């Protein structure tokens, strides 16, 4: 019984990683850049929901909608101002460092506006969840909703990428920017669209992250962002179902290693497992093996 | 590309040279600027980064004390000039902040806010023989030099006092602990608490750690305490993590007595926090923001007006630190034209003679070792406010 | 004198020149204590930037856990210095501390390199990040003490050490090592930097270095010409780790509290070093040294802006990246400044 409880706890944590990883992998897979500021977009989304909900006396639906719109704008603006000028730079690392700059910038703006003290976030989900076996086993509402939302996003993204023209354009741009341009695809616009979707997903992930772990500070997004990145790599970079699976696996492994091995060394164990998985499958769980051509 | 790199290096090298020269300018200005008729007090703490809440509280709390003292005529008739610097919770940057304050002409240091930073800075204050009063550096080694004193309790002290209190009041038979093993403060209290618990009338049944990189999910730590049958969970951690622990314990329907230390203070003032979750939480704290004595009421009001937040224990410690310095300086009758080292020797001597009262205690005295002598107050949260647990 | 020798000499010249200028300023009392305090950190960040540039720029593998090696160098050497503080005089002890710190970092670099270098690209990067975090987490749970009976070691807590009452706990978990002797100085830092530069620049211009760069540019072509890809990769990675370890030794002997916390050895710290490398120019060793110094100085010089300090720093970082790397800006800069005939520029073109 207690194993089941721990497994469910792992699932709750993993579902949060999964939903963040979806947004991460979206941008990562298409634009081929590690957007280190993604975690901070999540934080911005949380603060917007927090402020709007407070102003609307607790109405979080409006807050989430406003957050999605503003985060989308933020994502597109950031892409335009900070990332686009560096497209085609001599090294792909240049844009990575700029993303770090953007991450610092957002954190410090939040610090100046909201102060450093944590704020308690009111959950946007009021549903208590399900309980089984006379309340011995409880699955929280936020966990179920997070998993449902992740699955919906997963399916929607798959359909979008595989069935629509814009989605096909994204795939083309991610494979070969030059060839895509020759085929008449506006690569800049396609990547801007990717950022718009990725940032909107960040706002949704933020709402769920802070509902599950209701503590909000300018650094809220940083660590979950990194963990989600690890999850995305674990699942196979660029693979959208892989991000989902990677997130869930990471959450469950983290909780079980804390439970059965050591809570002091849990970070080391989680990262150790990541290393082992990558050694066995060097491109992640669902990653494609790309044959190198000579 | 090569050529371009060359341009960049040249530009950078000249920028570096400029920076150095600018720095020299600072140095020259500083030596000319000393000798004014006011005391210069500096403070150091993390103003940015994950621990920014604590550093800002210290710098702001001290600012309020300085403003009050200046309005009332200063120390020995001299006004105070005050400056707070950022250390990003980084011992190396803390030393940089100290050096920068020294260039500014600092004569007495209130800081650093955190233990590791405070220890690193004390090495420098010792070498310069500058008087250092750390408001919240609680590790044992913070006050190992004779020029360093502290306002807060030491970590071992809190661990011992907590174990003693739980045992004396028969609060529990089985105790669980959740602590932060990436934090000096938390692991310091934890170690002493466990040592002290040997032979007491309760048993430590679970001790689970977490780290600052892994402080969102506490379900395992709580579940383990629950499975082990702990009826009291000891939380030697800061309120920001504790707020999450209380929420998660509530969600899983686990309601032991939670017992915190001074870092727990501030939990009731977390914006939007459901204070009913903290019902029954006990903590040993020197400060309570909703105390009704004039000093606290006045301080909390000013702090809220000026910074829009409710002060926590860090702010109170820093506020007291400035007044303690004032008392010691008045006792020693120092003047701003004395050298840093002379001020230090005089104030050091006065520290063991004074008896201060402030926000964190009505009566504090100091031993030459730098440790304060004051009583921790145990409070319990009832109906969203602190109530004395006695 | 050929071009590379000249370029190498210029690098040493810049470092030695900077050293001489700073020493003169210090002797004449023109250097503020703030800047004096920054000198040693600047040298060790320059050293680790050189180390990371060897890995990222020359070997061509992105490492985002390099501070882990710095951490190993720092802890092993600080442990040695603390344990032998009263037994060995300062100078030989500090030299031995360097040897131990570098040896441990190199050993871990070698061991970690075996799995890491089997991977490619972003997967490799994430595994270096993983190892950086593992090192940090393990040291945070490490307790080592010494008493009359010898060394005691545990991964649980200081109580489990089972020490005699007179014992001394040297590595105390999250509380780390306190009281490491303060031996690092600007002069020592500059010497270490010069040695690191000497090793890396000579490696780059040697047969081995050309093999390493051939692997970076096209490993299939390199392999088919008979270059042993694995052993050259391991060599570069291990040397890089060893130099990072030397930076760690300087670090731990500069401040008296050494804790394995994220501020110094975490993923963010490793990224900061990567920023130095990218801004200074990937593969440009001299650039790394200069960029490390400037970027370390920048937030310190911005202290006057108080609360806006880190905000301004982040904006400067973004702007510098765009100015330095954007293809359009580079093109514009060439057009605008290209017409001006600088003498050294012409000479270069002729050459």
List chain A domain ranges: 2-280
Question: Do B60 and B160 belong to one domain?
Answer: no
Q: Which residue range is the domain that position B113 belongs to?
A: 38-152+294-375
To the nearest whole Å, the CA of B140 is away from the closest chain A CA by 23
Cβ of residue C263 closer than 8 Å to a chain A Cβ: no
* Helix, strand, coil share of chain C (percent; to 5): 75, 5, 20
* Listed residues B227, B252, B285: the one ending a domain: B285
C311/A278 Cβ within 8 A: no
pLDDT at C287 over 90: yes
Distance set, CA B264 to CA B53, B253, B270 (Å): 13, 21, 11
pLDDT of residue A77: 96
pLDDT at B348 over 60: yes
What's the ipTM? 0.90
C147-167 per-position pLDDT tens digit: 877 788 888 777 777 777 777
As a dihedral over the C-alpha atoms of residue A74, residue A76, residue A78, residue A80, rounded to 10 degrees, the angle is -150
Q: How far apart are CA A276 and CA A271, in angstroms?
A: 9
B99/C294 Cβ within 8 A: no
Instruction: Give contacts of A 164-193 with C, CB under 8 A.
Output: none
Closest C-chain CA to A85? C326
pLDDT of residue A294: 57
pLDDT at C192 over 50: yes
| Best residue in A2, A39, A117 for a mutation probing chain B (most B CBs within 10 Å) | A117
Cβ of residue B28 closer than 8 Å to a chain C Cβ: yes
Contact list, A275 vs chain C (CB under 8 Å) = 115, 127, 130-131
B40-88 per-position pLDDT tens digit: 999 999 998 888 889 999 999 999 999 999 999 999 999 999 999 999 8
Cβ of residue C256 closer than 8 Å to a chain B Cβ: yes
Residue with tokens 């938390």: B186
Residue ranges in C117-228 assigned as alpha helix (H): 121-140, 186-204, 207-217, 219-224
Q: How far apart are CA C228 and CA B92, in angstroms?
A: 42
- Which residue in A5, A119, A267 is closest to B272 by CB distance? A119
Architecture of domain A2-280: Orthogonal Bundle (1.10)
Q: Which two tokens stand for residue C331?
A: 């093109």
Q: Are C310 and C268 in contact (CB under 8 A)?
A: no
Nearest to A15 by CA among A143, A138, A200, A199: A143
Q: Which two tokens stand for residue B89?
A: 């919770």
pLDDT of residue B36: 61
pLDDT at B10 over 70: no
pLDDT at B1 over 50: no
The percent of residues above 70 in pLDDT, for chain C, comes to 96
| Best residue in B55, B226, B252, B272 for a mutation probing chain A (most A CBs within 10 Å) | B272
Closest C-chain CA to A103? C314
More confident residue, A5 or B15: A5
- Which residue in B90, B116, B181 is closest to C140 by CB distance? B181
To the nearest whole Å, the CA of A30 is away from the closest chain C CA by 15
Nearest to B131 by CA among B154, B113, B106: B106
Distance set, CA C335 to CA A87, A90, B7, B140, C351 (Å): 20, 18, 15, 62, 22
C297/B119 Cβ within 8 A: no
A264/C274 Cβ within 8 A: no
A271/C131 Cβ within 8 A: yes
Q: Give kind and range of the element (H or E) at residue C147.
A: strand C143-147
pLDDT of residue B2: 45
pLDDT of residue A1: 63
To the nearest whole Å, the CA of C348 is away from the closest chain A CA by 22
Least confident of B21-30, B143-152, C267-276: B21-30
* Number of domains observed in the structure of chain B: 2
Cβ of residue B143 closer than 8 Å to a chain C Cβ: no
A131-172 per-position pLDDT tens digit: 777 777 778 888 899 999 999 999 999 999 999 999 999 989
pLDDT at B152 over 70: yes
To the nearest whole Å, the CA of B388 is away from the closest chain C CA by 33
Q: How far apart are CA B140 and CA B157, in angstroms?
A: 9
Cβ of residue C123 closer than 8 Å to a chain A Cβ: yes
Residue A289 CB-density burial (10 A; 0-12 exposed, 13-18 middle, 19+ buried): exposed
| Phi/psi of residue B317, nearest 5 degrees | -60, -40
Q: Is residue B261 domain-resident?
A: yes
| Best residue in C120, C130, C320 for a mutation probing chain A (most A CBs within 10 Å) | C130
Contact list, B188 vs chain C (CB under 8 Å) = 175
A213/B216 Cβ within 8 A: yes
pLDDT of residue A194: 93
Closest A-chain CA to B207? A263
- Which residue in C129, C133, C322 is closest to A85 by CB distance? C322
Give chain B's largest Cα–Cα span: 76
B240/A118 Cβ within 8 A: yes
Q: How far apart are CA C165 and CA C175, in angstroms?
A: 19
Mean pLDDT of chain B: 87
Contact list, A50 vs chain B (CB under 8 Å) = 272
Cβ of residue A142 closer than 8 Å to a chain B Cβ: no
| Best residue in A120, A128, A208 for a mutation probing chain B (most B CBs within 10 Å) | A120
Alpha carbon C38 to its chain centroid, in Å, reads: 16
| Phi/psi of residue B164, nearest 5 degrees | -60, -45
Three-class secondary structure assignment of B312-362: CHHHHHHHHHHHHHHHHHHHHCCCCCCCHHHHHHHHHHHHCCCCECCCCCC
- Which residue in A13, A108, A117 is closest to B217 by CB distance? A13
pLDDT of residue C239: 97
Residues in a beta bridge with B233: B176, B258
Contact list, C136 vs chain A (CB under 8 Å) = 267
Question: Do B184 and B278 belong to one domain?
Answer: yes
Question: Do B302 and B277 belong to one domain?
Answer: no
Contact list, B90 vs chain C (CB under 8 Å) = 263-264
Beta-carbon count within 10 A of B123 CB: 19
Task: Give the single-character DSSP code of C264.
Answer: H
Cβ of residue B141 closer than 8 Å to a chain C Cβ: yes
To the nearest whole Å, the CA of A209 is away from the closest chain C CA by 22
A279/C321 Cβ within 8 A: no
Mean pLDDT of chain C: 89
Contact list, C327 vs chain A (CB under 8 Å) = 87-90
Question: Do B102 and B139 belong to one domain?
Answer: yes
Q: Is residue B3 domain-resident?
A: no
Q: How far apart are CA B335 and CA B79, in angstroms?
A: 11
CATH assignment at residue B125: 3.40.50.2300
Closest B-chain CA to C291? B12
- Sequence-distant (6+) residues with CB within 8 A of B282 are B171, B257, B258, B259, B260, B378, B379, B380, B381, B389
More confident residue, A186 or B35: A186
pLDDT of residue B33: 37
Model confidence at C22, pLDDT cuts 50, 70, 90, reads: very high
pLDDT of residue C350: 38
Ranges of chain A whose pLDDT falls below 70: 1, 289-294
Question: Do B178 and B113 belong to one domain?
Answer: no
pLDDT of residue A148: 92
Q: What is the residue extent of each domain of chain C?
A: 43-286
Instruction: Give contacts of B 93-122 with C, CB under 8 A.
Output: 95-100, 102-103, 116-117, 119-120
Q: Are B312 and B239 in contact (CB under 8 A)?
A: yes
Q: How far apart are CA A242 and CA A225, in angstroms?
A: 16
Q: Is residue B390 domain-resident?
A: no
| Phi/psi of residue B292, nearest 5 degrees | -105, 5
* A-B Cβ pairs (cutoff 8 Å, strict): 103
- Which residue in B12, B119, B209 is closest to C294 by CB distance? B12
As a dihedral over the C-alpha atoms of residue C215, residue C220, residue C223, residue C229, rounded to 10 degrees, the angle is 40
A89/C326 Cβ within 8 A: yes
To the nearest whole Å, the CA of A21 is away from the closest chain B CA by 17
Model confidence at B289, pLDDT cuts 50, 70, 90, reads: confident
pLDDT at C112 over 70: yes
| Best residue in C36, C155, C261 for a mutation probing chain B (most B CBs within 10 Å) | C261
To the nearest whole Å, the CA of A53 is away from the closest chain B CA by 11
To the nearest whole Å, the CA of C18 is away from the closest chain A CA by 28
pLDDT of residue B27: 38
| Phi/psi of residue C333, nearest 5 degrees | -65, -40
pLDDT of residue B28: 36
Question: Do B251 and B185 belong to one domain?
Answer: yes
Q: Are B147 and B131 in contact (CB under 8 A)?
A: yes
Cβ of residue A264 closer than 8 Å to a chain C Cβ: yes
Model confidence at C273, pLDDT cuts 50, 70, 90, reads: very high
Q: How far apart are CA B2 and CA B8, in angstroms?
A: 10
Question: Do B178 and B256 belong to one domain?
Answer: yes
Question: Do B120 and B161 belong to one domain?
Answer: no
* Listed residues B233, B254, B285: the one ending a domain: B285
Cβ of residue B342 closer than 8 Å to a chain C Cβ: no
Q: Give kind and range of the element (H or E) at residue B257.
A: strand B257-260
């Amino acid at each position: 019984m207690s194993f089941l409880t721990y497994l469910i706890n792992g699932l709750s944590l993993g579902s949060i990683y999964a939903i963040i990883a979806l947004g991460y992998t979206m941008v990562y897979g298409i634009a081929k850049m590690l957007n280190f500021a993604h975690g901070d977009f999540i934080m911005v989304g949380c603060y917007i929901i927090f402020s709007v909900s407070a102003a609307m006396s607790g109405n979080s639906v409006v807050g989430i909608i406003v957050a999605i719109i503003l985060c989308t704008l933020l994502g597109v603006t950031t892409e335009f101002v900070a990332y686009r000028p560096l497209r085609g730079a001599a090294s792909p690392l240049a844009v990575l460092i700029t993303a770090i700059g953007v991450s610092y910038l957002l954190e410090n703006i939040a610090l100046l506006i909201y102060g450093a003290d944590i704020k308690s976030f009111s959950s946007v989900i009021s549903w208590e969840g399900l309980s089984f076996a006379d309340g011995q086993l409880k699955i929280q509402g936020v966990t179920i909703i997070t998993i449902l939302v992740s699955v919906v996003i997963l399916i929607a993204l798959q359909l979008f990428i595989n069935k629509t023209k814009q989605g096909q354009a994204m795939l083309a741009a991610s494979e070969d920017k030059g060839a895509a341009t020759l085929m008449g695809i506006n690569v800049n616009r396609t990547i801007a669209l990717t950022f718009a979707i990725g940032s909107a997903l960040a706002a949704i992930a933020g709402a769920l992250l802070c509902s599950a772990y209701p503590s909000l500070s300018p650094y809220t997004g940083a660590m979950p962002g990194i963990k989600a990145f690890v999850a995305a790599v674990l699942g196979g970079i660029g693979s959208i179902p892989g991000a989902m699976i990677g997130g869930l696996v990471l959450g469950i492994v983290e909780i079980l290693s804390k439970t059965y091995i050591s809570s002091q060394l849990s970070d080391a164990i989680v990262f150790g497992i990541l290393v082992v998985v990558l050694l066995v499958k060097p491109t992640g769980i669902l990653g494609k093996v790309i044959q190198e051509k000579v | 590309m090569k050529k371009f790199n060359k341009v960049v290096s040249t530009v950078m090298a000249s920028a570096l040279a400029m920076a150095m020269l600018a720095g020299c300018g600072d140095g020259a200005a500083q030596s000319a600027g000393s000798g004014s008729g006011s005391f210069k007090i500096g403070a150091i703490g993390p103003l940015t980064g994950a621990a920014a809440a604590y550093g800002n509280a210290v710098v702001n709390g001290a600012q309020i004390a300085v403003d009050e003292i200046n309005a009332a005529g200063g120390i020995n008739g001299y006004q105070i000039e005050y400056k707070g610097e950022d250390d990003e919770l980084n011992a190396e940057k803390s030393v940089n902040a100290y050096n920068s304050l020294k260039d500014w002409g600092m004569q007495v240091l209130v800081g650093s806010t955190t233990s590791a930073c405070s220890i690193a800075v004390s090495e420098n204050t010792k070498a310069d023989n500058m008087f250092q009063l750390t408001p919240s550096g609680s590790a044992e080694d913070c006050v190992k030099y004779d020029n360093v004193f502290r306002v807060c309790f030491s970590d071992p002290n809190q661990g011992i006092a907590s174990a003693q209190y739980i045992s004396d009041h028969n609060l529990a038979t089985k105790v669980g602990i959740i602590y932060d093993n990436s934090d000096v403060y938390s692991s310091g209290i934890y170690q002493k608490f466990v040592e002290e618990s040997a032979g007491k009338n309760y048993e430590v049944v679970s001790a689970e750690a977490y780290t600052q990189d892994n402080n969102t999910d506490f379900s395992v730590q709580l579940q383990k305490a629950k499975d082990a049958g702990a009826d009291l969970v000891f939380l030697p951690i800061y309120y920001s993590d504790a707020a999450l622990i209380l929420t998660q314990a509530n969600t899983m329907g686990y309601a032991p007595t939670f017992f915190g230390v001074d870092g727990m203070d501030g939990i009731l003032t977390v914006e939007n926090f459901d204070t009913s979750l903290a019902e029954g939480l006990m903590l040993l704290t020197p400060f309570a923001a909703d105390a009704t004595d004039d000093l606290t009421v006045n301080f909390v009001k000013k702090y809220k007006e000026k910074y829009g937040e409710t002060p926590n224990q860090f702010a109170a410690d820093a506020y007291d630190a400035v007044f303690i310095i004032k008392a010691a300086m008045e006792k020693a009758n120092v003047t701003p034209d004395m050298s840093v080292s002379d001020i230090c020797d005089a104030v050091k001597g006065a520290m063991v003679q004074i008896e201060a009262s402030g926000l964190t205690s009505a009566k504090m005295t100091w031993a030459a070792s730098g440790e304060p002598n004051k009583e921790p107050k145990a409070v319990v949260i009832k109906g969203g406010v602190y109530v004395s647990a006695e | 004198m050929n071009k590379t020798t000249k370029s190498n000499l210029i690098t040493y010249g810049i470092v030695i020149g900077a050293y001489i200028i700073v020493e003169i300023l210090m002797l004449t009392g023109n250097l503020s204590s703030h800047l004096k305090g920054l000198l040693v950190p600047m040298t060790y960040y320059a050293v680790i930037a050189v180390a990371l540039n060897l890995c990222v720029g020359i070997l061509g593998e992105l490492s985002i856990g390099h501070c882990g090696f710095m951490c190993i160098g720092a802890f092993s050497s600080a442990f040695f210095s603390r344990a032998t503080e009263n037994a060995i005089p300062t100078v030989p002890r500090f030299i031995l501390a360097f040897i131990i710190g570098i040896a441990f970092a190199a050993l871990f670099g070698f061991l970690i390199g075996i799995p890491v270098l089997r991977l490619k690209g972003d997967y490799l990067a994430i595994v270096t990040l993983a190892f950086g975090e593992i090192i940090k987490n393990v040291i945070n749970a490490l307790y080592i003490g010494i008493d009359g009976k010898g060394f005691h070691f545990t991964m649980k807590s200081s109580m489990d050490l089972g020490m005699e009452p007179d014992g001394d706990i040297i590595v105390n978990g999250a509380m780390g090592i306190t009281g490491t002797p303060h031996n690092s100085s600007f002069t020592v830092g500059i010497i270490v930097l010069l040695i690191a530069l000497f090793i890396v620049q000579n490696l780059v211009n040697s047969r081995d270095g050309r093999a390493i760069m051939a692997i970076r540019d096209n490993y299939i072509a390199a392999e088919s010409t008979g270059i042993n890809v694995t052993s050259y990769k391991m060599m570069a990675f291990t040397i890089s780790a060893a130099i990072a370890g030397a930076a760690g030794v300087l670090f731990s002997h500069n401040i008296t509290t050494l804790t394995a916390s994220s501020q110094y050895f975490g993923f963010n710290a490793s990224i900061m070093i990567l920023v130095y490398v990218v801004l200074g120019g990937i593969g440009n060793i001299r650039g790394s040294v200069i960029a490390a110094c400037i970027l370390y100085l920048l937030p310190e010089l911005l202290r006057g802006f108080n609360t806006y300090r880190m905000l301004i720093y982040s904006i400067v970082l973004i702007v510098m990246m765009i100015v330095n790397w954007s293809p359009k800006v580079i093109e514009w800069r060439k057009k605008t400044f290209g017409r001006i005939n600088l003498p050294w520029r012409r000479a270069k073109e002729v050459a």
